[in-house]
A = this chain, B = another copy of it.
Amino acid sequence: MAKNTAQVEAITNREVDFAKWYTDIVTKAELVEYTAVRGCLTLLPYGYAIWENIQRTLDGWLKDIGHENVYLPMFIPESLLQKEKDHVEGFAPEVAWVTHGGDAELTERLCVRPTSETLFCDLYAHIIHSYRDLPKLYNQWCSVVRWEKTTRPFLRTVEFLWQEGHTAHATLEDAEAETLRILNLYAALCENVLAIPVISGQKTDKERFAGAKTTYTVEAMMHDGKALQSGTSHNFGDGFARAFDIQFSDQNNQLQYIYQTSWGVSTRLIGGLIMTHGDDNGLVLPPKIAPTQLIIVPIAQHKEGVLDVAHTLQYRLSDLYRIKLDDSDKTPGWKFSEHEMKGIPLRLEVGPKDIENQQVLLVRRDTGEKIPVSMDQLDHVVPRLLDDVQKSLYEKARANREARTFHADNMADFASLLEQQTGFIKAMWCGDQACEDRIREQTTATSRCIPFAQEQISDHCVCCGKPAKHMVVWGKSY
């Protein structure tokens, strides 16, 4: 069937079935294609281009503050994975095992990396000798594999793309500073680039990364009120260093264990973009991350001069923005739907009448607002509008989060609030894991984080009534 005989099909209504709406978008906006491999997706050009933009931004920031990229093997020998007890318990149940190379059975199984702490430890044990070798600020862009039973595009897949930073420091304080520095970078990436507001904080012991001393997180709320863990940064203390015997001689020539961190964000952020900003017409992308920021659609393009003007505008704006011109033989209405589905922030329409009047029509993807602009004003109006779209998307997401964030100081309120509406519950906690477990059993909500910005909701634990230690943000998660 020829492509142009198909229709731009409507997607499921977002308020009716959020999950179905989501999976409609990932395929209809041509972000991914399902494959013959269970739980593994193909990232199509448009989906991969969003990831490239995330990479370019974050990679630049990481290099600016002294990080270097490396590449370590995708395989981890079983014996190496087992060196740190908590870590292997956390990951062994969900790894893929290579048992044969060609026709021969391997003497030792290799797992496909679910994360690379153990390989980085093995590397650091070889290359770190002196305090002069510290800090090591290494980062890796790669794919990892976790044998998940239930998968969902971008949110939870068997293989996914990410970056994993692994650093080594002379002191616990240096490691802690790095852990927080990166968390702030992740918050800036989410808020300033992806227009996704996040809450920064610490994970409870129960939710900590396998092998970490402290795990920090940035937590976002999606349009439906569920939480998305969007990036984590771990301080390992010297736990891995002791397990892998990684020591350096300090200024006094004394052997000391190193202190380590690791941190990562993944293609899950693309899922976050969809679920934060998308609407019933498809994806909505913040201009800073959109592969195409402005799409030019000529109207009555067969008429003399229209395509010439469209091309001139394209060349004029291409130096400053990521611009495309759609001069295909589809109807303008069809093109509008397609580019709305792909979430392109601005559409520029130009037809014979516009040319006569020396103007164009700009249309915002986020609001649908139509703005006639004189051609000679374009260079001023386009950047202002892109900036507006970026800010509005952030504010809209923030307003949704505020509207769906509640306080509870007893379990009855906690449960009934979550029954009425999915959202975040701010509630006090005594610090006891038994209460955390009970809250999950009674409400299916988990602790998202202990936010850095603490509020005093009450003085007692929402669950057991004992004196409270922290305010925790609770929510249902992806």
The smallest C-beta distance from A422 to any residue of chain B, in angstroms, reads: 30
Tell me, yes or no, whether A72 is within 8 Å of chain B by CB.
Answer: yes
Taking CB atoms, residues of chain B closer than 8 Å to A43 are 70-72
Among B36, B48, B126, B147, the residue within 8 A (CB) of A101 is B147
Query: What residues on B are CB-neighbors of A72 within 8 Å?
Result: 35, 42-43
Contacting A93 at CB < 8 Å: which of B102, B112, B159, B249? B102
> Are A98 and B101 in touch, CB under 8 angstroms?
no
Nearest CB of chain B from residue A133's CB, rounded to whole Å? 6
Q: Per-residue CB proximity of A126-138 to B under 8 Å, as 1/0?
A: 1101111100001
Please state if B119 and A3 are interface contacts (CB–CB under 8 Å). Answer: no
Chain B residues, CB < 8 A from A471: none
- Cα distance, A293 to B462, chains bound together (Å): 61
In the assembled complex, A317 has its CB within 8 A of some CB on chain B: no
How many residues on A have C-beta within 8 angstroms of the other chain's C-beta atoms? 62
**Alpha-carbon separation in the docked complex, A76 to B72 (Å):** 22
When chains A and B are docked, how far (Å) is the Cα of A395 from the Cα of B133?
Answer: 39
Interface residues of A in 66-90 (CB under 8 A from B): 68-77, 80
Contacts of A145 in B (CB 8 A): 74
Residues in B with CB closer than 8 Å to A76 are 37
**A96 in contact (CB, < 8 A):** yes
Q: Is the CB of B119 within 8 A of A35?
A: yes
With a cutoff of 8 Å between Cβ atoms, the chain B residues found around residue A96 in the complex are 75, 98, 100-101, 110
**Given A33-B126, A103-B93, A122-B35, are A40 and B73 also a contact pair (CB < 8 Å)?**
yes
Task: Please determine whether B42 and A75 come into contact, CB atoms closer than 8 angstroms.
Answer: no
What string of 1s and 0s marks CB contacts (under 8 Å) between A111-130 and chain B?
A: 01000000100110011011
Q: Separation in Å of the A334 CB from the closest CB of chain B? A: 13
Flag whether A161 is at the interface (Cβ < 8 A). Answer: yes
Q: In the complex, are the beta carbons of B143 and A249 less than 8 A apart?
A: no
A94 at the interface (CB under 8 A from B): yes
**Contact between A70 and B41, CB atoms less than 8 A apart:** no
Residues of B within 8 A of A103 (CB): 93
| Beta-carbon contacts under 8 Å, A343-362 to B | none
C-alpha spacing A48/B142, complex, angstroms:
13
Assess whether A305 is interfacial by the CB under 8 Å rule.
Answer: no
Given contacts A35-B122, A45-B138, A119-B35, contact A161 B71 (CB under 8 A): yes
Instruction: Choose from B112, B133, B142 the contact partner of A3 (Cβ within 8 Å).
Output: B133
Which among B75, B77, B95 is the interface contact of A102 at CB below 8 angstroms?
Answer: B95
B-binding residues in A (CB < 8 A) = 1-4, 33, 35-37, 40-45, 48-49, 51-52, 68-77, 80, 92-103, 110, 112, 119, 122-123, 126-127, 129-133, 138, 142-143, 145, 147, 159, 161, 249, 253
Give 15 A-B contacts (CB < 8 Å), ordered by A residue: A1-B130, A2-B249, A3-B130, A36-B119, A37-B77, A40-B74, A42-B71, A48-B71, A49-B69, A51-B71, A71-B143, A96-B110, A97-B101, A101-B147, A142-B143
